[in-house]
Structure 1
């Protein structure tokens, strides 16, 4: 299915506009980047108030939110090196960064980058205009100066250059296109209107067939938004299913370490009173009848404002595989979000058939690769080479299938 770049009309209908956020966007004169002071903060807690103010802008990614990053840092405990930009007393941007060691190289990355589907940093809405007039080499020099004593390489991954009509200031830094793209489905007023973007007739027919097959197995329950205890239990079931799936495919389990599990359990506890923001919410298809209690499919989604992201999913093919319970679960989740202020369902990173069948929009992602030392220059060159190699392989179907077979054989 052909995809298109995410259209401007998919921009959120509202940006949070309380008094505190409105104050963030005020300027007495045109904001000049030359007047912005950049420093590095070693403690998240020291700038929590400034951080929470910036994160209220709905175009700043959930993955750079304070609670999301705090859950990761609590689990992993890497040193923080948060880049802050201030104009006078006003904080105009924050880049939540941790320092990770990889093969002897100190890499400055977005906090939790290994499990983030979209990264934007946290920028005041009016700062983009100031970046348009900035000399790119000056920006790189100032970031390098701020981080040089702490890291060898600044590597900020999975950044859309333009997100829902807003250009990202990080686009001025040295970049390489990431091998993975993200896929989105704009949501309209009704499920019927949303399906018109797709092959609606085929999609409805598939849903009817899946429903019939699940009923033949004894029926099902769609489990969504259950109590906290049940949510944590569903997450543990996801870890089990995904581990079995990875093992069957001969692939390493990226959810296997205790730190990642602790981080995601922490994300479940992130939720606002209006349910317009949650770090992680588990959904599942649970069979009834003779197979009562069997979880055929599980997924975890996150929400910030009108944007919902599917963080992960897993299926159990031991019972009812012919009913495609994973696809059926996506229908249930998407249908259930209508009428709840959601305008965009994001399938996240990675090119998979089911994503293309659901998503008419595609977003390219890029990585900032900025060496800070000689050692970082070597590591940055390797990252660029590997990333471009992966992108080329993924663009060639035969090569991609061969690479997947080799990866399964090698178990890496």
Structure 2
């Protein structure tokens, strides 16, 4: 029996929550026994959230501690925090954490961290929601999304087509567009991973790269938890990423959107977020970093970096760091290593699980209908461009031209 199937056979124990601090949205039960309430403070839904979180977490975006810290460090006002709880027979069965914001004049309800994690979905009592009929699920999602204060659009990005191994439970949540894929490695051990993912030629290639890196000096791999050196490692990681963004001719979104402080805060003792830093050093210098968040037996890689020093690129420090990660995480008890959305060479080498992601939209005004159509058109165009090498080359050409004009070296590594 899979862990996902076992979850469906376990009852979820959640006590009926007092609603004295909640705003009633649709407190009267409908014909299916559904009611909905709205909260503006994450602490008011902690008991519900943690119980639902224990069912199946597909992303740090579903973690109570991760989102609480995000709200605190981003200083999001309580009036822009919306925690919508759906009840069935007065028992909480679904929770949607939403951030109300205005983007280019459009009033949105959306997930809190945006594109900073690979996937999202409402938290659910999985057993109860799976047992519902399609009409019941449609009613639940409609009631949860139709009683919020006025806005133009609910934009729920990057939702997996299946959660906890079960698909279809969000099919009736607004309209959707499949746009991306989530990549994961799922193995019982390093031996299984090695056997299934590495051919004889791949092992030889990895060994040759390792030998070239070893020839440059002392190589050391570290698994770093919250502690005194985490600030230095994270600062180095973001410096490496900034250098790479500059070489690619694109803006550094982490700096531009003031996101660096959050990742420092998450890695500190007492944050509630289990951050693991995988670090590769050459002669004591940090040459590659992977920033991961752990939840249960799943590890999610949120950010990775490597040195832009062309002198060491022949040793492929990024790939060598990831090789050591794969050699350790599965034998430490992890069963899933999530590498996020979007295809890369490293995901082709290591990931044996691919989960389609959808953008879900719920229009809430006439303007929202117009924005929905325009955004879906943009997303479809992006998918076509990414699938066409010629078009991708055209889109990258301005950045490559900038590098040539300014003399900025391009990053030739595929890592």
Q: Please show how residues 101-116 of structure 1 align to structure 2 within 5 Å.
A: 101-116=102-117
1:4 corresponds in structure 2 to: none
| CA distance in 1 between partners of 2:133 and 2:390 (Å) | 41
Residue 313, structure 1, aligned to residue 304, structure 2: yes
Report the TM-score, using the length of structure 2 for normalisation.
Answer: 0.84
1:184 corresponds in structure 2 to: 184
Q: Give the C-alpha shift of residue 354 in structure 1.
A: 1.9
Moved more, 133-142 or 327-336: 133-142
- 1:369 pairs with 356, 361, 370, which one? 361
Q: Give the C-alpha shift of residue 397 in structure 1.
A: 2.0
Q: Please show how residues 188-203 of structure 1 align to structure 2 within 5 Å.
A: 188-189=188-189, 191-203=190-202
1:243 corresponds in structure 2 to: 242
1:66 corresponds in structure 2 to: 64
Q: Secondary structure at the match of 1:322?
A: helix
Moved more, 164-173 or 249-258: 164-173
1:333 corresponds in structure 2 to: 325
| CA distance in 2 between partners of 1:236 and 1:33 (Å) | 55
Report the TM-score, using the length of structure 1 for normalisation.
Answer: 0.85
Does the 8 Å CA contact 2:86/2:92 hold for their aligned counterparts?
Answer: yes
1:82 corresponds in structure 2 to: 83
Does the 8 Å CA contact 2:56/2:164 hold for their aligned counterparts?
Answer: no
Residue 404, structure 1, aligned to residue 396, structure 2: yes
Q: Give the C-alpha shift of residue 409 in structure 1.
A: 5.6
Q: Secondary structure at the match of 2:396?
A: helix
Q: Please show how residues 5-404 of structure 1 align to structure 2 within 5 Å.
A: 22-24=12-14, 34-59=32-57, 61-78=59-76, 79-134=80-135, 138-139=139-140, 141-147=142-148, 149-167=149-167, 169-189=169-189, 191-257=190-256, 259-269=258-268, 278-288=273-283, 293-318=284-309, 319-404=311-396
Instruction: Give the 3 Å change call, closer, same or farther, for CA 164–404 of structure 1 in structure 2.
Output: farther
| CA distance in 1 between partners of 2:171 and 2:295 (Å) | 23
| CA distance in 2 between partners of 1:16 and 1:340 (Å) | 26
Q: Which structure is richer in relative contact order (CA contacts within 8 A, separation 6 or more)?
A: 1
Q: Give the C-alpha shift of residue 408 in structure 1.
A: 5.7
Instruction: Give the 3 Å change call, closer, same or farther, for CA 59–68 of structure 1 in structure 2.
Output: closer
Q: Give the C-alpha shift of residue 227 in structure 1.
A: 4.4
Does the 8 Å CA contact 1:58/1:305 hold for their aligned counterparts?
Answer: no
Structure 1 alignment gaps of length 5 or more? 1-7, 27-31
Structure 2 alignment gaps of length 5 or more? 17-29, 404-415
Q: Give the C-alpha shift of residue 128 in structure 1.
A: 2.5
Instruction: Give the 3 Å change call, closer, same or farther, for CA 61–116 of structure 1 in structure 2.
Output: same
Cα deviation, 1:281-339, whole Å, max 9, x if unaligned, reads: 21111111xxxx32111111122122212111111131410111111111111111123
Instruction: Give the 3 Å change call, closer, same or farther, for CA 370–232 of structure 1 in structure 2.
Output: same
| CA distance in 1 between partners of 2:289 and 2:120 (Å) | 24
